[in-house]
């Protein structure tokens, strides 16, 4: 599943835009008047027995624990993203990057109406010497690899909060004597913000293996990229404002 990777892809947007432009220039021209064919969402492979048990547990338990954003806040989760193209807004609890208990995911997703719709479970790459994990019985093929970066929430005009902001870990470390310790002062050093007082929340998103799961029923499968039962709002898909 790659919905998380799409949301984070803007961190490498400059180099990616060059590759996309090259690929587009190599594609044959579409005949005049022809309409592009929109690909249908891809269903996820069916879960094995261990995965089915895991899904049953989280789909039952998580809505009881984190059914509202207020419950998420009380449990230590903080919103950090814009609504992505699938309709998900991400909340993180940095205590759970090493997700050892399915009841405490690293991240929760809510839709624009505040409904809990999904979650991320993760394993730090540094703690998995054999590569992609199979934690909770989830097949290794379902785990995505995500590189390290620093996320932050910025204070906007009139007390508003600006989400979906990130700095690549290499750039952040280069500006901070090699340290990726997430601080407001570090963001000033990178040029991400002008003053430390502008930063409402900052955290290190470490290099992890990540698996994303829809908590609400999905006709394409709980591990699928998209969910037809979630209707993104008109402002969905802004992604990350990254450096």
Model pLDDT, residue 23: 38
Token digits of residue 223: 């591990």
Model pLDDT, residue 5: 55
Whether 109 contacts 90, CB under 8 Å: yes
Question: Is 105 buried (19+), middle (13-18) or exposed (0-12) by CB count in 10 A?
Answer: buried
- 170 pLDDT above the threshold of 50: yes
pLDDT tens per residue, range 66-89: 999 999 999 999 999 999 999 999
pLDDT tens per residue, range 95-143: 999 999 999 999 999 999 999 999 999 999 998 888 999 999 999 999 9
Model pLDDT, residue 41: 81
pLDDT tens per residue, range 24-64: 434 445 455 555 556 678 899 999 999 999 999 999 999 99
Model pLDDT, residue 123: 97
Q: Is 16 or 131 the better-scoring residue by pLDDT?
A: 131
pLDDT tens per residue, range 192-241: 999 999 999 999 999 999 999 999 999 999 999 999 999 999 999 976 66
Question: Is 131 buried (19+), middle (13-18) or exposed (0-12) by CB count in 10 A?
Answer: exposed
Model pLDDT, residue 130: 85
What's the pTM?
0.86
């Amino acid at each position: 599943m790659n919905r998380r990777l799409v949301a984070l892809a803007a961190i490498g947007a400059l180099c990616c835009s060059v590759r996309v432009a090259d690929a587009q220039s190599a594609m044959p021209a579409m005949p005049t008047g022809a309409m592009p064919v929109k690909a249908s969402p891809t269903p996820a492979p069916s879960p094995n027995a261990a995965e089915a048990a895991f899904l049953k547990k989280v789909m039952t338990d998580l809505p009881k624990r984190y059914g509202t954003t207020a419950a998420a806040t009380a449990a230590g989760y903080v919103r950090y993203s814009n609504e992505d193209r699938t309709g998900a807004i991400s909340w993180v609890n940095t205590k759970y990057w090493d997700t050892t208990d399915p009841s405490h995911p690293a991240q929760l997703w809510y839709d624009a109406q505040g409904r809990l719709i999904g979650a991320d479970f993760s394993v730090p790459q540094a703690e998995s010497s054999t590569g992609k994990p199979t934690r909770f019985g989830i097949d290794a093929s379902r785990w995505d690899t995500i590189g390290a970066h620093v996320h932050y929430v910025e204070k906007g005009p009139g007390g508003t909060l600006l989400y979906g902001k990130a700095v690549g870990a290499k750039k952040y470390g280069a500006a901070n004597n090699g340290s990726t310790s997430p601080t407001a002062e570090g963001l000033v050093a990178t040029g991400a913000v002008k003053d430390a007082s502008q930063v409402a929340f900052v955290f290190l998103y470490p290099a992890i293996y990540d698996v994303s799961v829809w908590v609400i029923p999905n006709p394409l499968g709980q591990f699928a990229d998209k969910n037809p039962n979630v209707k993104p709002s008109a402002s969905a898909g802004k992604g990350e404002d990254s450096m």
